[in-house]
Structure 1
Amino acid sequence: MKFCDDPLGPPILAYAHNYSHGDVELPHTHQCSQFLHALNGVIRVDTPSESWVVTTHQGLWIPSGIRHSLRITGDVRVRTLFVDPMARADLPNTCMLSKVSPLLTSLIIEAVSLPDIRLSGTRDERIFELILDELRLLNAIDFYLPIPKTEALVMLCQNVSERISHPWTASDAAKFLGQSERTVSRRFQQELGLTFTEWLRQQRLLCASELLASGYSVLDTALAIGYDSPSAFSAMFKSRTGLSPRDYCPMVISSG
């Protein structure tokens, strides 16, 4: 893992790495910010406060010092930018998932082949400067899962995640915690910014993304995450990702 201990030299560097299905990167931090861009496949990124799923044509901005781990689904080609936090004053200071434009993808791919040291006023320098300009235009995608802090909600969420096919309701959550549904709803809103139902939907969506990328059929994925109807699952998936599960699968596996 690059730049965990050593500082970044130039303001920005591009790096290519290919992962195999099942690969993991243990929790670590970088002394620089990182933009993790998936050309294909799925990357699960876990931080102390959130979990993210990065799919094809998406990128995750990870500020310097944020501890994170990676879990790979499918054979994934990653193109990463390592960026000095001071390279631009208005770069994000929190993790942010974004779609990656064809222009930015092309620039990153080109930058991988460029030397680390570049002369002022050259084409190489202008490419990296344009990349920094494009990073300032990233638009956040609401596709992440907040992680609870208190022990009771941690235990509940772990139990739900381990039995994600169960038809969970807010009433089930209330019984698990021994509290009223209103109290549980208030605790989720205060700690995670979501209702229990919204959190459950996000958890199922992230699980579905990984299962589909692993080769599960739409029907098997729907059943595995607690949907009796593949059509209801497909409607939910498309409303959140903009793609039907059938369109999502070949894009994740072969795009880029």
Structure 2
Amino acid sequence: MQLNRFVSWLAVTAGFMASSLAAADFDQQRFPDEKEWRVIVSPYVWAASLKGNASLAGFDTDVEVPFSDTFDHLDLAFMGNVEVTNGTWGAFIDLQHVKTSQGEELQSQQLDLGITMNTVEGGIYYRAYEAALGGETVFGQPRRLSVEPLIGVRWSQLKGTVEALGRKVEKQSDWWDPFVGLRVNLDLSDRWNLFTEADIGGFDVGSKFTVNAQSYLGYRTMMLGQPTILRAGYRVLYQDYETNDFTGNRFRWNVTQHGPVVGLSMQF
């Protein structure tokens, strides 16, 4: 039972962190005729719940954990990305860090479990298609529909710590997942924007297969004198990763993470 809980919390943290809410989540703000490189800073929060199954140390367990359970044991979390773009080409890097801990009793002994997940994602995209929709946004840009293919890679690292009877054991696993995808930006009005992105990855390089889909409604405004988009939406991410764990048995992470996302993107 305690081992199954440990596996579930491994999956919870991965779902909270897995992959990224890529910098692609935010519409690049371009002023007319400007092609110089600009920087976009985007903090966000993904409140992910998990459903699937996982295996660790020869034990299989079902994973069905709401975000509220993760939040109850959360010690520290940071999610954000930085993007540079000239309106045609762009590159992004996304950094994520989540640390959870919990205490349990096992046969009258205190058992402390700690999970830390680090994810670094980077990629490039290209604005392959653009169509004018008429009118301008509140930032003085023409309203547009744009389509942007993207390619990238995601590195995930999972650390698990167990402390009991005066002993502390720490194990970790990390893997790389390449991915390819497409994102679409649509200016609904002078202030409202719709962003949708989908990508697939893994390809047996790291995970066997991954699928990511996300969509966000954005509102343009000014914050601290800078053009900013406030975003709210929903994201679904499926990952199927398998390797040998520290016991020599199969470690498998076959989980779908899903939940609401909120954030903002500020251009400098």
More helix by proportion, 1 or 2? Answer: 1
TM-score, normalised to structure 2's length?
Answer: 0.22
TM-score, normalised to structure 1's length?
Answer: 0.23
More strand by proportion, 1 or 2? Answer: 2
